[in-house]
Amino acid sequence: NGQFCSLAFDPAGAPAISYFDAQNSLLKYARRGTAGWSTEFVDLHQHSGNDTSLAFDQAGRPAISHVYDGAAYEVRVARWDGAAWATQTVDTSATGLACTSLAVDPTGAPQLTYIVDKSDVRHARWNGATWDVETAAPGGRIAGGASIALDGAGRPHLAYCDAARAWLRYA
């Protein structure tokens, strides 16, 4: 019973999927190995896992951005460290969050974009100690669909839909 799924391939070419398990209201991760598919819970806080995005670093460790909508909205990133999932909160400053999109730069630092309150597009990057968060596109009427891609130097490129003008935007 999955929702908000994201598909990515690890460096060896094996598929993996992050998704919201609606039956348990938790974030899950599925991967295909030589023996078939296996699944595991990632963030054990109820209502975690909306709007997932999955990416791998160069060592093949997965990272998943997602929205937690418990008592308050939070953008979170869960990363596999080789032994367990570690979840960090990126942003808690909004009443509505959506459309996370995640990429991992050549240094292994996750970067993501997401939409806040249907009006701002934000970009966040892990600097090794904390999350640097900036508003990349302020004060619009954002329809959704924010996406991030990194160029060869690890610089972020963002795409999103401006609902006020029915335009596709690039930043």
Q: What is the pLDDT of residue 15?
A: 98
pTM for the predicted model, two decimal places: 0.91
| pLDDT per position as a tens digit, 31-81 | 999 999 999 999 888 888 888 999 999 999 999 999 988 667 889 999 999
CA-based Rg of the chain, rounded to a whole angstrom? 15
Q: What is the pLDDT of residue 171?
A: 80
61 SS3 class: coil
Q: What is the pLDDT of residue 70?
A: 67
Q: How far apart are CA 37 and CA 113, in angstroms?
A: 29
Q: How far apart are CA 114 and CA 122, in angstroms?
A: 5
Structure tokens given for 37: 């598919």
| Contact between residue 82 and residue 99 where contact means Cβ atoms under 8 Å apart | no
Q: What is the pLDDT of residue 165?
A: 67
The answer, yes or no, to whether residue 29 has pLDDT greater than 90, is yes
Q: What is the pLDDT of residue 168?
A: 82
| pLDDT per position as a tens digit, 95-116 | 776 789 999 999 999 999 998 8
Q: How far apart are CA 31 and CA 165, in angstroms?
A: 40
Q: What is the DSSP letter of 44?
A: -
Name 34's Cβ contacts closer than 8 Å, sequence gap at least 6. none
Q: What is the pLDDT of residue 143?
A: 64
| pLDDT per position as a tens digit, 3-22 | 889 999 999 999 999 999 98
Assign 119 a pLDDT band (cuts: 50, 70, 90). Answer: confident
The answer, yes or no, to whether residue 118 has pLDDT greater than 90, is no
